[in-house]
Amino acid sequence: MVTVMSLWLPILVSAVIVFVASAIIHMVLPYHRSNFGKVPAEDGVMEALRKFSIPAGDYMLPSAGSPDAMKDPAYKAKLKQGPVVLMTVLPSGGYTMGRNLFVWFLFCLGVSVIAAYVTGRAVGAGTRYLEVFRFAGVTSFIAYALAQWQESIWHQRKWSTTFKHTFDGLVFGLLTAGTFGWLWPN
In this predicted model, what pLDDT tens digit does every residue of 151-177 receive, in sequence order? 999 999 999 999 999 999 999 999 999
In this predicted model, what pLDDT tens digit does every residue of 81-116 receive, in sequence order? 999 999 999 998 877 899 999 999 999 999 999 999
Per-residue pLDDT, averaged over 47-62, amounts to 94
Give, in order, the Cα–Cα distances in Å from 22 to each of 7, 16, 113, 167: 22, 10, 18, 12
What pLDDT sits at residue 93? 86
Please state, in angstroms and rounded to a whole number, the distance separating the CA atoms of residues 50 and 53: 6
Please state, in angstroms and rounded to a whole number, the distance separating the CA atoms of residues 161 and 155: 12
Q: SS3 for 59?
A: strand
- Asked if 169 contacts 147 with a C-beta cutoff of 8 angstroms, the reply is no
In total, the chain counts a number of residues equal to 186
3-state helix, strand, coil in the chain (%, to 5): 65, 5, 30
Average pLDDT, the chain: 96
With a CB cutoff of 8 Å and minimum separation 6, the contacts of 32 are 25, 26, 164
**Residue of 8, 19, 4, 7 whose CA lies nearest to 175:** 19
Q: At what angle do helices 159-183 and 8-27 cross, to 10 degrees?
A: 150
The pLDDT confidence band at residue 41, using thresholds 50, 70 and 90, is very high
Per-residue pLDDT, averaged over 9-17, amounts to 99
Please state, in angstroms and rounded to a whole number, the distance separating the CA atoms of residues 61 and 86: 7
Q: Three-class SS string for 11-48?
A: HHHHHHHHHHHHHHHHHCCCCCCCCCCCCCCHHHHHHH
What pLDDT sits at residue 98? 94
Question: Is the whole-model pTM more than 0.85?
Answer: yes
Give, in order, the Cα–Cα distances in Å from 132 to each of 3, 36, 58, 115, 185: 14, 37, 40, 10, 10
Domain ranges of the chain: 5-36+95-183, 42-89
